[in-house]
Amino acid sequence: MNKKLIPALYHVLFWMIYAIFWTTYSMLYYGTPLGGAAFLTLLWMIGQGSSLYIIAYLLIPRLLASRRYVVLALSMLVVLVLGAAFITLTTLPVIRHLMPAFPLKAWQMGPSILLTNFYMTFLFLAIKWGRDKILQQKRQQQLEKEQTAHELKFLKSQLNPHFLFNAINSIYILIKKDPDYAAAMLARFADMLRYQLYECNSSHISIDKEIGYLNHYLEVEQLRKGNTVAVQYHVAPEVRHFHIAPLLLIPFVENAFKHVSVFPDKSNHVIINLTYDNHIFEFSAVNTMDINNGYTHGQAPGGIGLENVKRRLELLYNGQHRLHITNDGQLFSVLLRINIP
């Protein structure tokens, strides 16, 4: 159904209920014949409907926005009086025709009709205000949802150039040092690009695919780092058969390799663990650091990659995750826990 027709259907429904109620009321309470009751209701609908729509769709939008409250109040009063006058002058002859002994005169009917007109206008405006409020909230929620989707898309798009820059730079270095290693890296690099291009368009993907991507990345880094960095990587058997947002873990791993120490006489290592227990997925990444690399105790190294993933976690897992990043000057640690439904 066309969404533009829905508001019109609400108005039709409102006036149908109005017509049925007042026609039935006139027949039961006054004993008015069906034809006469329906005609009287029609005259009331014309008088009250004109007042309602003039006030709701002409006076209020024009005068309320400009804060002309006194003019608005007086204009509403004039419209209500004119509507009541129309109803009084048109229905009174019909009522006297149907009930010749009807005792009231126009000046006696007018005040009660004006009061009824006021109540109906108030009811109509209350219904309209409530409906407009609901629609406004829905539009706001839709707008926020679209803004969040655009922001997530933007953040995800920034991950690709960040990774590409690092990977291409690594390949460039390896081509000069060892063409065979460079060829192996290119093969893994192609798999990773395929994953980013064809697998990451969904909001959530299987953890198995994310782990596969992580495996390729670690192979690339081990080729690049060689024996200078010891890598410990463990995925618990329970980490299977659930879904997470794509490219959520790689920025932490990328950051660990980017800032791992390069001690010539001490151990340089990166430790990565993935576990799952009782609907809690836990990821940790730890790397050794060199205090002489420009970072001080407590400072968290990492640029656009870490900032983006923090923002993505806030948007995708708000209230459903915990992220702890620590730096004691020797070890840089990331611990991420996500509640999996």
pLDDT (mean) for 54-76: 83
pLDDT(159) > 70: no
What is the enclosing helix (H) or strand (E) of 142?
helix 106-177
Long-range contacts of 214-217 (CB under 8 A, 24+ apart): 214/249, 214/250, 214/253, 214/272, 216/188, 216/191, 216/192, 217/188, 217/192, 217/250, 217/253, 217/254
pLDDT tens by residue, 179-205 = 887 887 788 778 877 877 777 777 788
Strands 331-339 and 230-235: unpaired
User: Is the pLDDT at 126 greater than 50, yes or no?
Assistant: yes
pLDDT of 302 > 70? The answer is no
User: b/e map of 265-276 (b: 16 or more CB within 10 Å)?
Assistant: eeebbbbbbbbb
- Between CA 27 and CA 37 the distance in angstroms is 6
pLDDT in tens, 28-63: 877 778 888 888 888 888 888 888 888 888 888 888
Residue 152 pLDDT greater than 70, yes or no: no
pLDDT reported for residue 270? 96
What integer pLDDT is reported at residue 286 of this predicted model? Answer: 97
- Structural class in CATH, domain 178-339: alpha beta
Q: Mean pLDDT highest for which of 4-8, 67-71, 161-165, 266-270?
A: 266-270
pLDDT more than 70, % of the chain: 84
**Domain range summary for the chain, segments of one domain joined by +:** 5-140, 178-339
- Distance, CA of 298 to CA of 232 (rounded, Å): 24
Predicted confidence at residue 100, as pLDDT, reads 62
Higher pLDDT residue, 101 or 313? 313
Whole-angstrom CA distances from 27 to 36, 39, 100, 338 are: 9, 12, 16, 66
Report the relative pairing of strands 269-277 and 230-235 from DSSP bridges. Answer: parallel
Q: What is the mean pLDDT of the chain?
A: 81
pLDDT of residue 299: 44
Q: Which of 208, 216, 256, 260 is nearest to 235 (CA)?
A: 208
Mean pLDDT within 329-334:
92
Higher pLDDT, 82 or 162: 82
* Residue at 73: amino acid letter: A
pLDDT digits (tens, 9 = 90+) for 305-322: 677 788 888 888 988 999
As a whole number, mean pLDDT of residues 99-118 equals 71
| CA–CA distance, 45 with 312 (Å, rounded to integer) | 55
Residue 230 scores a pLDDT above 90: yes
pLDDT at 13 over 90: no
pLDDT in tens, 237-246: 999 989 998 8
- The model carries a pTM of 0.56
Residue 298 has a pLDDT of 42
Q: What is the pLDDT of residue 235?
A: 96
pLDDT in tens, 232-286: 999 999 999 899 988 889 889 988 988 899 898 889 999 999 999 999 999 999 9
